[in-house]
Structures are given as structure tokens and as C-alpha cells.
Copies of this chain bind each other. A is one copy, B any other.
Amino acid sequence: MGVSELRDPEFRRDPVTGRWVIVAPERSLRPMTLEGAEPRHRPDGEGRPCPFCPGHEYDTPHEVFAVREPGSAPDGPGWRLRVVPNKYPAVKPQTDLSPTRSLSGEGQLRPGGLSPSSFPGKGDGGFSPSPFEQLPGIGRHEVVIESPDHVSNPAFLPDDQIRDVFLAYRERLVALAADPDLQFAAVFKNVGAEAGASLGHCHSQIVATPLVPDIVRQELNGAGEYHTRTGRCVFCDIVRHELADGRRVVAETPHFLAVTAFAGRFAYEIWVLPKAHGSRYEAAAGPVVAELAGLMKRVVRGLDAVLDGPAYNWFLHTAPLRSAELGHYHWHFEVMPRTSRPAGFEWGTGCYVNAVAPETAAAQLRAACPG
């Protein structure tokens, strides 16, 4: 039987668990200069120009945001930070999708909502509707190029540069909220090949989708149930308890608390929480964002010191785009070093084995990132 090649990205729903995945064949085309699995930072492969360095602006799609010298032209030199669409996107704006989609064509997205289509299996003999659902892979996939310098470790970025990164996240969340097709923006950073980075030049990514993804939905639901049961925000309770208890505290600033996660999936997993309640990162004031950036730098310096330059990710969990301020949700960052390799137990059950008690990890990190 013939296989019609899928080219455009597509959301597909697991018919049993309901878990959504993205099938994105173009992702396989991206350059992987960090290929290899050293669980440490690595420079780019030899001989390949870095597409994120100044002078190579032609190698990325047109910038959608930048911090630039006054008078410098978009997509030219003179920038301190650039945000560009990902050249090898996991999701695409609707206008970039083929008019006829090879595998389905039926999946339709209406502003603000989803209308999944059944997968049109051929010859199913009319027994029953197909159990399969998919949607066009609509969305935006952006790259935040964090510095003109070819630095691979964000802990080495100057303070004003890392502040601009966290301010850029806020700018993009505000801008992406203007697109009614998008429901959520995932802001994240991969450091090191083992953590999924494919290029060594410091960057973050933003993937905005018409779906609120599973883990964020689980957080919203779990926090909603906690709020219904207790009348309180579970994250506010975590902040209060961790400050009183102290054993998992890694670092603290006037507005933020960094703790090892009580039930982290990886050893040395850290959560950075605002002490005051707020569900929307976009609503954080500039000086507060700058304070957060400084604390994140301290935290990743601590991880570098304790784990000898590990690969890690950080990601933002914030309310869906265009949410009202929510009493039960509380934005935060999670920092997840790749301290172990999930195996069959983890992939098969969703239950992670963490070999370092969070209290032990916090004691080491406290010593390594003094205030």
C-alpha cells in the first residue's frame, strides 16, 4: 500500500490516554551541531557557522522582536537579543500550512477552539468511527537568541543580558496572546545535548499552541481542586511551608523562593516561585522580572558547581494566554537537570525514580549558591 508522506506538522491524540503529541517531519531536518551525548555543555561542531551569531542574521527567518542599538535595522547587526521564528518548526502558523493536508485535510481549527477530525482510515468497512483524532499543527515556534556572543552557558551571561531574556519572555507572551488561535505559550530552555539542545549558542524557545498541554492542564486542574477543597492556592501553601521548614530551600530573594521540588522527577530539580500570588507571568513588573533573572542565574550557577556543568532545561508554567487572573494558579519556573536517564519504568508508568533526596540536594545547592 502507498504511503502518502506527511509534511505539515499535525497534532495527534492518543486514543487511550488522550495525550496529544506533535508529528513534525520537518524537525528531522534541523542541524544538530550538538549531536553527541556528553551530559555537559559542548561547543558547536567544528567548521559549521553558528546561525545565531551576528553576521548570520540571513540564516534565520525575520525577527519578530529584538533589543537593538537605536537606529539599527531589523535582521542586521547591532542587536543584543533577537527573537526569530524557528527555521525547523514543530508547529506553524495556519498560513504556512499546505492548502491540502496530505493525511487528513479535515482537521479544522476555529478561532479560540478546536475541532478535531477523525483520522480517515481507508477501508474500515463502516464498523465503527475511527478511534483516531488529529488536528493541523497550527502554532508558533520561536527562538530567543539570548546574546550576540557565542556563549553556551547562560550562567556566563552578564546580568543585564539575562534580565533582557526574561523581559523578552514577557514581551512574547503579550504578543502571542493577540492571536486568538493560540491558547498557551510554552517558554523553555535547553542547555546541553543531553537536555535536547541542538545548537550551542545560548537560546530559549517558545512554542505556542491551540491546545493547553497535558502537564499544564494537570497543574490547572490539580490546583483548582486544591483551591476548591481548602480555599487556598497550593503554590502559596508550598511557599509558606518551604520557608517555615527550610530543608528544601536553595535560595531566596525579596520576591522569590527557589526550592528543590518535594517530588521532583529528576534529582536536583528546582522550582522557582514568586512569594506573592499571581497566575500570569506577563503581569510581573520589570524590576521583579530582573530580580527573577538574577536568581535564575544564581540557581544555574549552583547546579553547575554541584553537578559539574550538567545538561538541564528550564521552563515556565503560567496561565493560558488571555486568562483572567486566577486565584488557584501561580506562575513559576522549573529547572530540571538531566541527572538520570528515564528508563522503561518511567516511560511505561509515568513514575520517576529520583536517587537523591531533595533535602540532600538542597543542602548541597545552598552551599553552592550563597546569596
**Most chain-B CB neighbours within 10 Å: which of A27, A262, A314?**
A262
Q: Does A219 contact B (CB under 8 A)?
A: yes
Q: Give Cα distance in the complex from A19 to B354, angstroms.
A: 13
Q: State which of A52-60, A144-152, A289-297, A341-349 sits at the interface with chain B.
A: A341-349
Residue-wise interface mask of A (247-261) relative to B, using a CB-CB cutoff of 8 A (1 in contact, 0 not):
100000000000001
Cβ < 8 Å to B, chain A residues 293-351: 313-317, 334, 336, 340-351
Are B20 and A215 touching (Cβ within 8 A)? no
Q: Does A352 contact B (CB under 8 A)?
A: yes
Q: Give Cα distance in the complex from A16 to B128, angstroms.
A: 38
Are A6 and B357 touching (Cβ within 8 A)? yes
Q: Does A218 contact B (CB under 8 A)?
A: yes
Q: Does A360 contact B (CB under 8 A)?
A: yes
Nearest residue in B to A36 (C-beta to C-beta)? B37
Are A354 and B23 touching (Cβ within 8 A)? yes
How many identical chains are in the complex? 2
Residue-wise interface mask of A (216-229) relative to B, using a CB-CB cutoff of 8 A (1 in contact, 0 not):
10110011001000
Nearest residue in B to A245 (C-beta to C-beta)? B121
Q: Does A178 contact B (CB under 8 A)?
A: no
Nearest residue in B to A221 (C-beta to C-beta)? B17
Within 8 Å by CB of A247, from B3, B190, B196, lies: B3
Query: How far is the CB of A249 from the nearest CB of chain B, in Å?
Result: 9
Please list 11 pairs of residues, one from A and one from B, whose beta carbons are closer than 8 Å in the complex, sorted by A's number. A3-B359, A3-B363, A12-B263, A16-B223, A19-B351, A23-B356, A37-B37, A90-B345, A121-B241, A122-B245, A196-B346
